Structure 1
Amino acid sequence: MKKIIGLVFLIVAVMLTTLFASGSLKISDITKVFSKKYDLPIYSTKYIPNRVAEEDFKFAIKTAKSSDKRILMEIGGDWCPWCNALDAFFIDNSDLKSLMHDNYVVVKIYRGKENYNSNFLAQFPKILGTPHFFVLKPDGSLLHSQGTEVLEKGRSYDKLKLQTFLKRWIKK
């Protein structure tokens, strides 16, 4: 039975790898399915250059206050390999993605050549790279600024480190 289950997982992994490589399936397709489960707003699932960061942040504050959650702001862009690796990591580790969305209002803010969001980001500590996390109180005040390089492992992320980070900043 274990061999059959292992074989099924191997077949699924090969199929997904083939679909990703051919471009027939994108990470955003899987994200859409997960987003429906949580009924997440678009600003929680995608980096969009032309979105108004200030408006998304205001809405995140409103949502955080009403749900009594902290805000996890993720700065990055679809152009960023480490941002894509982080998205893929959360897809592969749905328990951590659930931990994140169960306990935080997530808002993704685009930062890249199409829109640096400099005016919006000027209110926060300077960031040196992407992705970057800001943990904020429900009122939008900063609790913590965290580069993700310390959460990396090889070409991806370290599950225990990310889990520890998320659990550390959950509102108690």
Structure 2
Amino acid sequence: MKKVLITLCVALVSLSMYGQGKVKKVYDESVNPVEQINDAVKKADSEGKFVVCQVGGNWCKWCLWFAAFIENDEEIKKLVDDNFVYAHVNYNPRQESDDATKMMLAILGNPARFGFPALVVLDGKGNVVHIQDSSFLESGEGYDKKKVMRFFRNWTPSAVATGK
């Protein structure tokens, strides 16, 4: 009986730990990043929004954590959905010499210099408005809601247009 209880406890702890570490993969590695950005810009322009490119990859735990963080918080999700077209732009460090990767990095103002995820805000014409080093949005082993909300509020189309 004691062995059964110990085995059951170990199994529950293992499942609990596995569940906490499991996050949804959000980067589509088969998509051409330049086409993805161009499509997002066209959509944003037609909807009066900006684009946020979250540059990173499924290999980056902080990238996946950030995606889950904004997806799972209703207030942040609404702010993002109301003001931005959101694109998870895949960056594979092993493909740095690839033409599409080089072009993507150039279009986005070479955000890889900040680490990952890097957040790039584009206006409806595809111009880089801001590049955000996501480490400034962190707190401990996660993200800080106040910092994340402040970032998104400060880079909405209306905030940029009015300076408020």
TM-score of the aligned structures, taking structure 2 as reference length: 0.75
Which amino acid is 2:43 matched to? T
Give 1:99 deviation, angstroms. Answer: 1.1
- 1:122 partner SS: helix
**Which amino acid letter does the alignment assign opposite residue 161 of structure 1?**
K
Q: 1:54 aligns with which of 30, 34, 39?
A: 34
Alignment partner for residue 159 of structure 1, among 145, 150, 154? 145
* Larger radius of gyration between Structure 1 and Structure 2: 2
Please list the CA deviations of residues 77-106 of structure 1 after superposition, one character each: whole Å capped at 9, or x if unmatched.
Answer: 111011122123224422212211221011
Distance in structure 1 (CA, Å) of the matches to 2:56 and 2:116:
5
Report the RMSD for the aligned CA atoms in angstroms: 2.4
Q: How far 1:125 moved relative to its partner?
A: 2.4
Q: Which of 19, 23, 48 does residue 27 from structure 1 map onto?
A: 23
Q: What's the CA shift for 1:27?
A: 3.3
Identity %: 28
- The 10-residue stretch of structure 1 (100-109 or 89-98) with the greater mean CA deviation from structure 2: 89-98
Partner residue, 1:102: 82
1:126 to 106, 110, 116: 110
Gaps of 5+ in 1: 1-14, 29-44
Shift of 1:72: 0.7
Question: Shift of residue 19 of structure 1?
Answer: 6.3
Gaps of 5+ in 2: 1-11, 159-164
Shift of 1:113: 3.5
- Please tell me the residue identity of whatever aligns with 1:87: A
Aligned residue-pair number: 140
